[in-house]
Amino acid sequence: MYEALVDEAYNHGIRVEERELGKIQGLYGENIIWINKNLDTEAEKTSIFAEEMGHHFTSHGNITNLSVLKNRKQEHIARRWAVKKLIPLNKLVDAYKNFCVSKHEIAEYLNVTEHFLDMGISYYREIYGTSVRVDQHSVLHFNPLYVEEKEG
C-alpha cells in the first residue's frame, strides 16, 4: 500500500524523500513529502504518508504552529482525508468479512497502525453516530466495531 501511495504522489507531481527526521515522522511542503526513514513498519509509513498527502490536497501555507486554531483545523482536515483514503467504510466491512475481529487484525488487514484505525473509527463515529449502512446488506457499527449483515 505504501508503494501505491508513493506512485500516486508522483502522478500528482509530488516528490517523495525518505530521510532521517529525528522525532518528526513526516512533513509536507512545496510539493515534497518527507518521510522519516527510521519508521519501524510499512503500516507506520503508510499512515503517515497518507496524512502528508492529505496536506497536499487540503492544506495551505505553513501550518507547523499548532497553537494557531486555523492550523489545527487544517491538520484535522488532512487527517480526515487520509482516513477516507486508507480506511473507507467498505474496507472496514471487507476486513470483518475476512474474519478480522480485533483492532490489531483489522489494522493489519488495512496496513495502517492501530492508532490510525482508532482515529478513523472516531472520525466515522463523529460523522455517522453509532452505525452506518455501508451497502445493501451491511451495517457497520462503531462501538463495539462489528458488521451486521441484513437482508435486502
The residue that leads in pLDDT, 151 or 4, is: 4
**Contact in structure between 147 and 96 (CB atoms under 8 Å):** yes
CATH classification for the domain delimited by 1-86, as one of 2.40.30.10, 3.40.50.1980, 1.10.10.2910, 3.30.1490.100: 1.10.10.2910
pTM of the model: 0.89
Check the CA dihedral 38-44-47-51 and report its sign: negative
pLDDT for 5 beyond 80: yes
Model pLDDT for residues 111-143, shown as the tens digit of each residue = 999 999 999 999 999 999 999 999 999 999 998
Give mean pLDDT, residues 21-43. Answer: 93
What percentage of the chain carries pLDDT values higher than 90?
A: 79
- Calculate helix-pair angle for 2-11, 42-58, nearest 10 degrees: 30
Domain parsing of the chain, residue ranges = 1-86, 89-152
Architecture of domain 89-152: Orthogonal Bundle (1.10)
